[in-house]
Copies of this chain bind each other. A is one copy, B any other.
Amino acid sequence: MRGKPLVSIVSAGLSKFGKIEGMYGRELFAEAAKEAFERCPNLDPKRDLDALFVGHMGESYEHQGHTGAVAADWAGLIPIPAARVEAACSSSGVALRMGIYSVLSGLCDVVMVGGVEKMTHRSTPEVTEFLAMASDFPFEQWNGMTFPGLYAWMATAHMHKYGTTETQLAHVAVKNHYNGSLNPKAHMQKEITLEQALTSRVIAWPLKLFDCSLITDGASCVILTRPELARKYTDTPVHIIGSGHACDTIGVYEREEFTSIRAARIAAREAYEMAGVEPGDVDVAEVHDCFTIAEIIAYEDLGFCNPGEGGRLAESGETSLKGNIPVNTSGGLKAKGHPVGATGTAQAYEIYLQLTGQAGRRQVADAEIGLSHNVGGAGVTATVHIYRRG
């Protein structure tokens, strides 16, 4: 089915991202769902939606699992068949894959896929511990490894092998904070300087405070349908034309290489082949910048540059809003924020806005092909989706 639309996005919603006090995750999800419903007045949610897939990473934050049903209940969708999908920080990227399966299966015509996480009411040590559950327990967590350490490991390997510099990492942060300053739903809406990034305190060398994404509350969703039904719901559908999903070993220590994410390369290849497009065709991309090094590695894994050239691409400005291939126009996980379970469909939301001309001050002119890249754990799960303006 090369190049053919798999499914179409007919609406999307996003809660405000940030430190949202006094709201449960379920309420954030309802806020995102409400935006999606309001954008799509031809849709009767209770009548038309056939299934709900909810990316949610950690039941510890709110002592609440069974999050598919919880989200369904608070979005007013009971008795819809709802499921929580968990694949760490790629939970809603994988949920999107499930949504695509469900529509292609013929059992569902219209489905909602979303994600949610409520994190900021927990202390940083608690959040660090809860996130670490997505890494290997006996061989990583147990020995004190947490995610900043795992990505610092990848960063030092990349520096050693390719000469990538701290300044190149900082360029990613500066770019994404600038983009976030243009996004009214972003967690951080302020620009930073290269100097600020480089002199911020070290978290796990070479990663400093501004190399790390944010602990954020938020929810996101998209509504999918069969391409032939899309015009019933909107005049401006966005088609998903490629979907890739792959996994690697849970333990980073089991890998042969630390400077690339093999699961992302496999997922990208699958998505590009299905879509019938090349990396050079992509007009706008949201990539998983949980740490700045991750965005640099993503450039390489997605074929935006050759292996080892990601740092120089970051420095060149070609991935900024005015560059050849704008990346993380939303601000990315770095500045928009990273409510982990919500990130995958938040990326899809941004691509939806960009391809329908609704991205406001951060709009990429005439964007036709978009891409999202969502990674769970330290390169353990990856999904890549490719979108085309309808």
Binding site for B on A (CB under 8 A): 1, 24, 51, 56-60, 62-70, 72-73, 78-88, 94, 97-98, 100-108, 133-138, 141, 243, 245-251, 254, 262-263, 266-267, 376-377, 380-381
Contacts and interface: CB of A to CB of B under 8 A. Distances in A.
6 contacts: A66-B376, A84-B85, A84-B86, A85-B85, A86-B86, A104-B105
A86 B66 contact: yes
A50 to B, nearest CB: 10
Nearest to A98: B98
Given A69-B87, A98-B101, A250-B70, A79 B133 contact: no
B245 A81 contact: yes
B83 A87 contact: yes
Contact of A63 (B59, B67, B141): B141
Copies of the polypeptide in the assembly: 2
A69 B104 contact: no
Contacts of A381: 66, 68-69, 82
A68 B83 CA distance: 15
A68 B85 CA distance: 10
Contact of A105 (B60, B100, B249, B254): B100
A1 B78 CA distance: 25
Given A79-B266, A247-B81, A249-B78, A133 B65 contact: yes
Nearest to A100: B105
